[in-house]
A = this chain, B = another copy of it.
Amino acid sequence: MATIRDVAKKAGVSVTTVSRALNGYSDVNEKTREKIKMIAQELNYSPSLLARSLVMKKTKTIGLLVSGLRIEGSKDNFTFEVLCGVNDCAGELGYELVLISTDSKKQQEKTYNQLCKERKVEGVILQGIKTDDPYLDEVLKSDIPCILIDIPIESDSVGYVTTNNKDGAQTAVEHLLNLGHKHIAMINGHSQAFVSRERLAGYQAALMKKNIPFNESYVVNGAFLEDTAERETAKLLKAHPEISALFCASDLMAMGAIRAAKKMGKTLPKELSIVGFDNIILSAYSTPSLSTIAQDRYKLGFEATKLLTNLLEGKEVEKNKVLQTTFIKRESSIENHG
């Protein structure tokens, strides 16, 4: 592997000159520069980012820290689409991307700070972390710039990007109300998720606007899992046969709900309307296809990266961004003639 010294030697100049020539400094003779460039190419030289980073104390690297990068994530693709957004934005802005994935086992070995400092990432984007995760405390105490996805906490070095979950949920439930549904239940995620709390608030807000009292037994947790949602939906529908519509806090859980309803012999969407949240790929292919609140996961990643690099470059801008949702009407929600 050719180093800067090889180039210097062959060109008959000092390494300093090579460095300056290749980095586009103006105080170098154009002829010398051309010669050096030629030789560099000849030698197939490319500078060691390692050495450069060491001396410049800048790595131009950001980390995407994912808690639980698991294949199960295939079903909703959340992580993958965020990753695509981060990757694209980082690429545009000239940042390298390293993937840091942890799980509870790994977390006991290495602290958040160690993980980040070792790899010399200048900043981090955090995705898939629960609000009760011990890493979250570390993030707030650490001085490493960080953007949280879907956890609205802000400090000097911490910002966030999230979706307007309350609004989205409210839109979903209002849609069902406008279709004439009176008994609308909700399959929520779990209480350790910020988004679940927000979506619940949206559900409640929609009911309140129509003066429908909030019935606690109409809300169950499906843990964002298809199977759990299926079980919980089955229980719920058995206990409350009057329910004519369901708002699910994720499309994946809606898939579980659809299965539960079908197994009970219900005809969809005639006997039960369902609206999901996320707009995952599956939602367009299920039978019936799923009405849902679309959130832009790619943009979540893209904007997170933008915010992070702003933070890194000391720009004085907002440290948070809230994205809007879009309602997508498909087959699973129809008028109620109860």
Contact = CB atoms under 8 A, between A and B. Distances in A.
Nearest to A61: B98
Interface of A: 1, 44, 46-51, 53-54, 59, 69-71, 73-75, 77, 79-81, 83-85, 87, 91, 96-99, 101, 106, 113-114, 117-120, 255, 281-282, 285-287, 298
Nearest to A59: B50
A256 B150 CA distance: 34
A49 B1 contact: no
Contact of A70 (B50, B54, B84): B84
Nearest to A54: B50
A118 to B, nearest CB: 5
Q: How many copies does the complex hold?
A: 2
A337 to B, nearest CB: 25
A101 B90 CA distance: 11
A44 to B, nearest CB: 7
Contact of A285 (B49, B50, B54, B255): B255
Nearest to A66: B87
A229 B46 CA distance: 43
A71 B81 contact: yes
A48 B282 CA distance: 44
A229 to B, nearest CB: 15
A-B pairs, top 5 by smallest CB distance, nearest first, are: A80-B80, A287-B287, A46-B114, A74-B77, A71-B84
A1 B285 CA distance: 51
A49 B59 CA distance: 12
A281 B75 contact: yes
B99 A46 contact: no
Contact of A282 (B70, B96, B285): B285
Given A54-B51, A282-B282, A285-B255, A46 B118 contact: yes
Which residue, of A50, A70, A117, has the highest number of chain B Cβ atoms within 10 A? Answer: A50
A97 B99 contact: yes
Nearest to A102: B91
B101 A49 contact: no
Contacts of A298: 71
Contacts of A74: 77, 80-81, 281
Contacts of A51: 54
A114 to B, nearest CB: 5
A285 B46 CA distance: 49
Contacts of A96: 98, 119
A113 B50 contact: no
